[in-house]
Amino acid sequence: MSTLFEPYTLRELTIPNRVWMPPMCQYSAAPEGPETGAPADWHFAHYAARAAGGTGLIIVEATAVSPEGRISPYDLGIWNDTQVEAFRRITRFLVAQGTVPAIQLAHSGRKASTDRPWKGGAPVGTDAYGWRPLGPSPLAFDERHPVPAELSVAEIQEIVRQFADAARRALAAGFEVAELHGAHGYLINEFLSPHSNRRTDAYGGSYENRTRFALEVVDAVREVWPDDKPLFFRISATDWLEEDGWTADDTVRFAAQLHEHGIDLLDVSTGGNASGVRIPVGPGYQVPFAARVKNETPMPVAAVGLITDAEQAEKIVANGEADAVLLGRELLRNPSFARLAARELGADVHVPDQYHRSV
C-alpha cells in the first residue's frame, strides 16, 4: 500500500490523496476593467488539467484580498463578487474530478506592484497599472523596489477585515480550504520578521508584537470560515539570515500558537523576505523544516521544495516527515504526475472516464 495515496482527513474534509498542488502565480488576469483580478480561460485550463491528472488538493495561486494586495496588476483577487462568480467555474470542475479546491488568500505588502516575471518583474508605476506598495515599515525589499508606505494601526485593522471578507467570498466561490499566505516576503511575513519589521508600536519589536498581525488575521478568518472546513497557513520557516531574521526556532514556536488559534495545517516553505541571501537549494531542501514542525508540535504539515518523483514523495510521507507533499514545478511540467505516480507505486487514483484508455 502507498502512504502517498491514502486519504487524509482534516476536520470534516477528506482529501483523496497526499499529492497536492501549491499556489503558483500565473500573472494572467486582466489588469483593468470589470474583469480585473478574475480568473480567465488560462486559469481554468491550468487548474482543470491538474485535477484531471489526479491531484488530491489544488491550492489556487496567491489571490489578493484588495487591489493593492496584488503582487502584480495581473494577479487574481477576491475582493468583489464578479471575481467570486468567475472562481465558481473552476471549483465546480475540480470537485467533479474528485479534487479538493483550495485558495491562498494574500497581501503582497512591500513586494507589490511589479511586472510579470517574464517581463523582468521590475516594479511598475501608475503608467503601467501600478500603485505604491504598503508595508509594516518604510523599508524597501531591495534597491529595485520603492520604499513602501508604512501602515497605520487603522490601516492594519482594515487589512485584517479584508482577509475576513475575502474568506467569506472564497466560501461563496466553492472553496473547501483556505490558506493564509504568511511566506515569501509578503505582508504577513514582513510583519513576522525583524528583518522587515522595525515598528515600535504594538505590531513591532518583540516576538509577541511581530506575530500580532498574523494572529489577528487568523482569528478573523477562522471566525468566518466554517468549523468543518480546514484553514492552512503558509510560512517561510527561515529568512536564511545569520542574524536579525525569522528563524526555524521561531517557526516551531509559532506553529504551536497557530494550532491553538485554529490553523489545521502548516504549509512549510522558506525564504523570500531578504534579498541576496544564499539558499542551499537541492532535492527536498525544505523538507527538514516541515519535519521539525511535525515532530515538535501538534501541527500537521505539508512539505515543499524540489520534490520531483514518486519514490521521493512516498518516502517523505511514509517516514513521517510530512502529512502531504506539494509539488510545484513538477506539476507545471507534468499535470498528470499523480496518475503516473499512482501507477508506479501500485496505488489507485481518480481517472476521468475520458482518459481510461491511458491507464
Domains along the chain with CATH numbers: 3-358 (3.20.20.70)
Per-residue pLDDT of the chain (359 residues; tens, 9 = 90+): 899 999 999 999 999 999 999 999 999 999 999 999 999 999 999 999 999 999 999 999 999 999 999 999 999 999 999 999 999 999 999 999 999 999 999 999 999 999 999 999 999 999 999 999 999 999 999 999 999 999 999 999 999 999 999 999 999 999 999 999 999 999 999 999 999 999 999 999 999 999 999 999 999 999 999 999 999 999 999 999 989 999 999 999 999 999 999 999 999 999 999 999 999 999 999 999 999 999 999 999 999 999 999 999 999 999 999 999 999 999 999 999 999 999 999 999 999 999 888 77
Strand segments (E) across the chain: 8-10, 13-15, 19-21, 57-64, 76-77, 100-106, 134-135, 149-150, 177-182, 231-236, 265-269, 301-303, 324-326
C-alpha cell at 151: 501602515
Tell me phi and psi for residue 299, to 5 degrees.
-80, 125
Catalytic site residue 74? no
Residue found by looking up cell 501541527 in the block = 299
C-alpha cell at position 354:
475520458
**Residue indicated by cell numbers 488530491:** 56
What count of other Cβ atoms lies within 10 Å of the Cβ of residue 323?
21
pTM of the model: 0.97
In this structure, how many other beta carbons lie within 10 angstroms of the beta carbon of residue 326? 27
For residue 212, the number of C-alpha atoms closer than 13 Å in the C-beta half-sphere is 15
117 SS3 class: helix
Among all chains, which residue has been given the C-alpha cell 497536492? Answer: 20
The C-alpha angle 169, 164, 297, rounded to 5 degrees, equals 115
Grid coordinates of 251 = 517557526
Residue type, 297: T
- Active site residue: 8, 27, 129, 186, which one? 186
Rounded to an integer, what distance in angstroms lies between the CA atom of residue 265 and that of residue 285?
20
